[in-house]
Structure 1
């Protein structure tokens, strides 16, 4: 098994001690709700700071601190899974600072876009969970390999774009509107949504295998990573469609 989410790699739940209470799906759901609440709290604070001053510069330190700090904590959590009960909540708080700032800037340019993006993100989450639980989408080896390959290609493409932008070169359809730009974002949103299905499947199978209790936090952290990615891609897609 392998998830398209890089923090839910095939060996994420293997080779772990089987002591104490085992991981459960219900426990992972509860941890996910806690992380989401923390993210929304910190996002709401950054959001409020922006609309108080209407100046992006006032939230820039918090936004960049959240981006960099969240990335560092994500890497730490991947390599030190036993720390997940501590690092996962901290990741959610830091990521919330970034999400709140990014959302506020988008909202300033496109009124109402954040409400639409949030609604579509949770709607997609519910739809993917329903599709997985009902068996409408079956996680076969071919399906898994296809999503993993597509996800890797997207991140590689984004990495190339970041390097090119350092030299003043930009790949137009990643950041601009138009048919190609919107089409590209639609594809990325679909791939991000399909990653949710892989995450559901791996967490379910890991719970059945009796993974340790602290892996509930790790599973919740992994879902949060995918949800943040999905939300940002939907936000980008909606912004392109408004142009």
Structure 2
């Protein structure tokens, strides 16, 4: 099967992994194949590591003593996460070992990013950047995290109940949206390098204009729909009796989508707060 999440491209195989590797190989025992329970465990561990990393970097950013370390750590986490993400995507067998490191790196980045958003909104609304930024940041983070898990639960229910069925048209539309968003970002980035910030401005958490807010709503919608394809990917992997390491790969892939959704929700909430 195929999904809109670029990391979820490992299943393009007919029948099952057991058919591909022989009936007496990985498919012979549940200890060696992908299961729903194992995938949930892997995903939970990765989420826990990511949250822990975010708490650490948020603490550094909000500390008068170690605040100067927050940006290097945040940027370093972003770069490390990007590199590890590419490695895991093209080499799924590394997911068991590298995905926890990826989760920690993403957490470090998210903590600093969230702190930056809180301070930016505080400055835009006239609040004090320090205490005001922390208060606004706490509020925005709580709202974004709550919405992220609420949307995830809602999309899981919609998928499990058959309300949303990831057919060919559905996949095509979502994939087009994802790659369109990626292309837009690349074009906006290139334009900004040459001094034109018209497109890149829609990513600013303090841009409360209608077009900017509408763009964030669209990004949230696309990320939410990708969750359905993530669930389908996991179900297909279990059905195909994929090898055990694919539990970690699936958890990593789901984490990628959840991080994206959280970032877009945080940015959207910040824009709405800035427009008040």
TM-score of Structure 1 vs Structure 2, range by shorter chain: over 0.9
Q: Any runs of at least 4 consecutive aligned residues in structure 1 with deviations exceeding 4 A, and if so which?
A: 12-18
List alignment gaps of at least 5 residues for structure 1.
none
Task: Indicate conservation of the 8 Å contact 2:39/2:250, yes or no.
Answer: yes
Deviation at 1:147, TM superposition (A): 0.3
Structure-1 residue corresponding to 2:132: none
Which of the residues 200, 211, 223 maps onto 2:254?
223
Task: Give the TM-score taking structure 2 as reference length.
Answer: 0.83
Task: Indicate conservation of the 8 Å contact 1:49/1:59, yes or no.
Answer: yes
- Which structure has the larger Rg over C-alpha atoms? 2
Q: What's the secondary structure of 1:213's corresponding residue?
A: coil
The RMSD of aligned alpha carbons is: 1.8
Structure-1 residue corresponding to 2:125: none
- For residues 153 and 6 of structure 2, the distance between their equivalents in structure 1, rounded to whole angstroms, comes to 22
Structure-1 residue corresponding to 2:163: 136
- For residues 156 and 219 of structure 1, the distance between their equivalents in structure 2, rounded to whole angstroms, comes to 25
Task: Indicate conservation of the 8 Å contact 1:4/1:144, yes or no.
Answer: yes
Structure-2 residue corresponding to 1:9: 9
- For residues 249 and 13 of structure 2, the distance between their equivalents in structure 1, rounded to whole angstroms, comes to 9
Number of residue pairs matched by the alignment: 243
Can you list the C-alpha shifts for 1:195-238, whole angstroms capped at 9, x where unaligned? Answer: 00001001101111100001000000000000010000111111
- For residues 169 and 115 of structure 2, the distance between their equivalents in structure 1, rounded to whole angstroms, comes to 40
Q: What's the secondary structure of 2:242's corresponding residue?
A: coil
- Does 1:167 find its partner at 2:194? yes
Deviation at 1:107, TM superposition (A): 2.2
Say if 1:178 and 1:77 are closer, same or farther in 2 by CA, change over 3 A: same
Deviation at 1:113, TM superposition (A): 1.0
- For residues 30 and 106 of structure 1, the distance between their equivalents in structure 2, rounded to whole angstroms, comes to 31
Between 1 and 2, higher relative CO (CA 8 Å, sep ≥ 6) is seen in 1
- 1:76-155 map, 5 Å: 76-110=87-121, 111=136, 112-155=139-182
Deviation at 1:54, TM superposition (A): 8.2
Task: Indicate conservation of the 8 Å contact 1:62/1:97, yes or no.
Answer: yes
Q: What's the secondary structure of 1:52's corresponding residue?
A: coil
